[in-house]
Amino acid sequence: MRTLTALLLACLAPTLAGAAHTVTISAGKFDRTDTPVTFPLPQGLDPKANYGLVRDGQTLPLQLLPENRAAFVLKSLKAGESATYSLESVPWVTRPPLPTDLTAREDDTNVTLKIGEKTVFRYNGKPTELPDGYDPSLKRGGYLFPVLTPSGRVITDDYPPMHKHHHGIWFAWTATQFEDRKPDFWNMGQKKGTVEFVKLDAHYAGPVAGGVRTTHRYVDLSAKDGRKPVLNETWDVTAWGVGQGAEKPYFVFDVNVTHETATDKPLKLPKYHYGGIGFRGHRDWNAKRPDAYTALTSEGKDRKTANESTARWCHMGGKVEGETVGLAILDHPSNFRHPTPLRVHPSEPFMCIVPQVAGDFSIEPGKPYVAKYRIVVSDGAADSKLLDRIWNDYGKPVEVTVK
């Protein structure tokens, strides 16, 4: 497996007398704070070299991500303002780790992503161990668990007794039609479909971001031969080195999911009320009490009213080890049917983003289906202002001009 290495360390003086390129960042209509920014590395630059963004004698860490993308964190820029940096070569040096540095540690097919000493999540590749008494058909991998808050509290559940097929943060389709059959990739206990881990493609980490790229396969178990591949799924998960200097620290990571048909037949997805990306909250929230967990959307909907509504983001939270914690899923504007309908369970700590709520669609051969989400994990109650700010950075990003 290929490991991608962070390419730049911060706080360095540039070694070139002049810059070959300038990078101008325009804030647009919104104040920007601790904002992840990406742009294509200009042609002609060596993707194996080190570069920095230099302005007023200061050098921002610049990290090269997969597919020749460059990334950095914009600390602050007021609405309507712009800032221009010179993109310059910098030398390799060794420095002590910073609290915002990211690391990705591989253990077989699992990858644990950290910011400093704090674990953000673990990606599980190969199928995980089943609790005692569970049917083997429920065994699966290819999901995030545990997901933790900055204080170190686990916010997710895995194989919960009431919904044994739920897994931290995962992705699956429920109601489907493939050829003349109806495989179910979500309710794996029905043994009509499953999602399999295929391979860990890459992981990387550095001063700006850390991530993992992985491949899964959707298999129809109701086919005549008992196994027929239906979809190839790619996950690109990227955690950002932001939020640690805030008064109330938070984690931010992106989950991008791509589906391509494995045959020349489409996967039809009829109207249904759940499926897609899912989040299962902490087991302490399973109690059937009105205060066991809360939900809040960007449109002000709560646990009682959020289900099948549309929103830019949805937050779910509750108490873990006596303290309130929460997680929000942000829907990217490029997503199919954005703002995408929600499934918010009224009596269990579960939510997902479900384009099928709005009607039938299909994933066609030669036309990849791409879904993008930003996850925000924090201690404390839902903070609408923070989530709106992060969604603006995500959905209405800064403008980047490279010359």
Residue-wise pLDDT tens for the chain (403 aa)?
A: 444 433 333 333 333 334 479 999 999 999 999 999 999 999 888 877 888 999 998 999 999 998 889 999 999 999 999 999 999 988 766 667 777 899 999 999 999 999 999 999 999 999 999 999 999 999 999 999 999 999 999 999 999 999 999 999 999 999 999 999 999 999 999 999 999 999 999 999 999 999 999 999 999 999 998 899 999 999 999 999 999 999 999 999 999 999 999 999 999 999 999 999 999 999 999 988 889 999 999 999 999 999 999 999 999 999 999 999 999 999 999 999 999 999 999 899 999 999 999 999 999 999 999 999 999 999 999 999 999 999 999 999 999 999 9
Say whether both 283 and 143 belong to one domain: yes
Q: Is residue 400 part of a domain?
A: no
pLDDT number for residue 238? 98
pLDDT number for residue 89? 87
What CATH code is carried by the domain that includes residue 227?
2.70.98
Say whether both 63 and 149 belong to one domain: no
Task: Count up the domains in the chain and report the number.
Answer: 2
pLDDT number for residue 240? 98
Say whether both 254 and 317 belong to one domain: yes
Cβ burial, residue 44 (10 Å; 0-12/13-18/19+) = exposed
Say whether both 374 and 252 belong to one domain: yes
Say whether both 66 and 144 belong to one domain: no
Q: Is residue 244 part of a domain?
A: yes
- What residues make up the domain containing 34? 2-89
Q: Is residue 94 part of a domain?
A: no
Say whether both 56 and 166 belong to one domain: no
Q: Which of 30, 55, 89 is the last residue of a domain?
A: 89
Q: Is residue 322 part of a domain?
A: yes
DSSP of 90-118, one letter per residue? ------PPPTT-EEEEEETTEEEEEETTE
Q: Is residue 58 part of a domain?
A: yes
pLDDT number for residue 35? 98
Q: Which of 24, 54, 89 is the last residue of a domain?
A: 89
Single-letter amino acid, residue 209: A
Are 285 and 293 in contact by the 8 Å Cβ rule? The answer is: yes
Say whether both 42 and 147 belong to one domain: no
Q: Which of 60, 89, 118 is the last residue of a domain?
A: 89
Say whether both 199 and 268 belong to one domain: yes
Say whether both 109 and 16 belong to one domain: no
Measured CA to CA, the distance from residue 382 to residue 318 in angstroms comes to 10
Q: Is residue 361 part of a domain?
A: yes
